[in-house]
Amino acid sequence: MSNVETGKVWHPGERELQNAGIVKLMRALDVSSYDELMRVSIEEPERYWTIVMRECAIAWDVPPTGYADLSRGPQFPSWFPGGRLNWVNTIYAWGREPSTAQQKAVVAEHEDGSVSTLTYAQLEERTRDFAAGLAQHGVRQGDRVGLLMENGVEATVSLLAIVHLGALVVPLFSGFGVDAIIARLSAAEARMVIATTGFARRSRRVNVEGALRDAWRALPLLEHVIWKRAEGDTAQDPRDLDWQDTATRAQGLGEAPVTVTPDTPFMVIYTSGTTGRPKGVVHTHGSFPIKVAHDSLIHFDVHPGDVYCWPADMGWIAGSLVLGCALLRGATLVCYDGAPDYPDWSRMARVVERHRITHFGSAPTLIRGMASNEDVALQGDRSTVRLLITAGESIAPEHCSWFMQRFGDGTAPVINYTGGTEASGALLASVPIRPIPPSGFNTVSPGVAADVVDAEGRSVTGEVGELVLRAPFLGMTQSFWRDDQRYLETYWQTIPGLWVHGDLALRTPDGNYFMMGRSDDTLKVAGKRLGPAEVEEVVLELPDAAEAAAIGVADADKGQKLVVFVVARPGASIAGANLEALVADHVGKRLGRPFRPGQVHSIAQLPKTRSSKIMRRVLRSVYCGLPPGDLSSLDNPAALDDVRAAATSA
């Protein structure tokens, strides 16, 4: 990586100070400063969100009569009571405006260089037709429909068609193994899945079909899979349906989108926690899309006609977020479904050049890779870029500065953005009218009562604390799918009265924020969240594994890598290095190659409490050479010697 000024703070220019979306919102609110806008967003939320929805052109079938009904308590707010909508209508409206109807809505570049496009007018037509085809296949309001597809035109149409019908999309990561697919589709009781048979990655075919077909055997409620087939693929099961046939079987017969209340769910997306099965985060028509449109306006400064590219898998929250950021704001969404370094590291810069992208987002993992291959990664005209985005995991100041000064031209801000699957959009972010420190955030997202607190819930500045929310916020999950109690235990019961997000943060005296990692044991491998329990349960399927523990440790390429510790059963037929290799292969097969452990250690015992609870934080700290913290509850101190020895051998 070339030398960059890692401490250089970005400062807004005249362009941002005069024309940024946040400036236009301030004018609409009739406030003279950003601090005043923040005050209004917290103290006058009905006024704030009414004007936000007007500025974002949110389409309501029946306008709401208020901001929130809190009669069930702050844990279960009912947003915009009295209103009715379907959020796809906000996107469709751009196709009905003469000035934007023929503008490109979706541009999908494939790894082989081919490109598919839809205008806004075509997007509505294609989505209506596909929704009509789904309806003929029996999809009805309230049904859960899995979506396992690479990003692009078909994935965009499929997601919007599910929402159009009032059904719920259940996104699935394209790298999931059999167990991960079964866990999510069975919990959601999905009746149908829309899936790709496979896609190209570094010119080799990634077979998605195999894992889904294996999972199907354990999913008795799954009636059909609608396959987007590659050339030469054929049906293998009488229950197989075809994506293209579904898209054309009811052309011109599509009805208007189902109108629903703001509290009606449209997505159940599973995220991993530290214990137990994945959590089904529920998002609704009147929360997620409005929060996303808001963030696109004020944090990302997206305007109609902009060109927005942030490569993201549709199986994670970023897929829906990116789609909404572009299409809800009348911008062009540019998708790319291949490897970002194929045929070489110039690919992303070439994508920017070919499509004249104005907004480019990237996970820190990709930024690190481009920075390490700068000579090639910058071989593309990036002069159209007006704003850069990074999210998904922590980013080092030097990589943030490289992204701004080298991939960008030094004038485009880098908006660091953090919230999570459960929050829809930002809890902390930056606005382009204030100075931005490298890798930091210059604001709490407006409308979000975020704070940094100690263990008793007292606000702290200048020291690391828990990131919490002091009030319900638009975008928060409605609950976990059919599991209110787990939702309450996860967010609301650690510090009574506060939503505890599970992240550690630092607020500086000058009002900036920095993320300091997870406060729980959740792993984040290349920006993809994974619960240690998911990994450990898979390891324990092996007959020679008696116990297992999974942790995430810092990794230069992935941000975190997965490290697994395994204790062999007494008399095991396979132990030591052979068991380690078996564990690595088994986890990769079951959970997907992206989650194959970076290191497996066979050790004699795991550090535990007197009640036999594995002390993962101690395990991680000792393995990484950090102070182990409070060991008063540790029952077997000798286990730490095994962990230190494993770290030395790594």
Q: Is the confidence at residue 400, as pLDDT, over 80?
A: yes
Q: Is the confidence at residue 518, as pLDDT, over 80?
A: no
Q: Give the other-Cβ count within 10 Å of 503's Cβ.
A: 22
Burial state string for 410-429 with b = 16 or more CB within 10 A and e = fewer than 16 = eebbbbbbbbbbbbbbbbbb
Q: Which residue has the higher pLDDT, 63 or 593?
A: 63
Q: Is the confidence at residue 260, as pLDDT, over 90?
A: yes
Confidence category of residue 612, pLDDT binned at 50, 70, 90: low
- Please state the rounded mean pLDDT for residues 503-514: 92
Long-range contacts of 632-640 (CB under 8 A, 24+ apart): 633/609, 634/607, 634/608, 634/609, 635/608, 635/609, 635/610, 636/605, 636/607, 636/608, 638/605, 639/603, 639/604, 639/605, 639/606, 639/607, 639/608, 640/607
Q: Is the confidence at residue 3, as pLDDT, over 60?
A: no
Q: Is the confidence at residue 470, as pLDDT, over 90?
A: yes
Q: Is the confidence at residue 436, as pLDDT, over 80?
A: yes
Q: Is the confidence at residue 2, as pLDDT, over 80?
A: no
Q: Is the confidence at residue 279, as pLDDT, over 80?
A: yes
Torsion sign over Cα 404, 407, 409, 415: negative
Confidence category of residue 244, pLDDT binned at 50, 70, 90: very high
pLDDT at 547: 87
Q: Is the confidence at residue 164, as pLDDT, over 90?
A: yes
pTM summary value: 0.85
pLDDT for 78-95, tens place per residue? 999 999 999 999 999 999
Q: Which residue has the higher pLDDT, 524 or 379?
A: 379
pLDDT at 520: 67
Task: Flag the least confident range among 53-62, 133-142, 151-160, 563-572.
Answer: 563-572
pLDDT at 1: 41
- Please state the rounded mean pLDDT for residues 354-360: 98
pLDDT for 406-420, tens place per residue? 999 999 999 999 998
pLDDT at 7: 66
All structural domains of the chain, each given as residue ranges with its CATH number in brackets, are 524-649 (3.30.300.30)
pLDDT for 184-219, tens place per residue? 999 999 999 999 999 988 888 889 999 999 999 999
pLDDT at 650: 76
Check if the beta carbon of residue 28 is closer than 8 Å to that of residue 36: no
Which residue is it, tokens 């999809």?
139
Q: What are the tokens at 116?
A: 């598919």
Pairing of strands 450-453, 464-469: antiparallel
Three-state SS string across 107-141, please?
EEECCCCCEEEEEHHHHHHHHHHHHHHHHHCCCCC
- Please state the rounded mean pLDDT for residues 471-497: 95
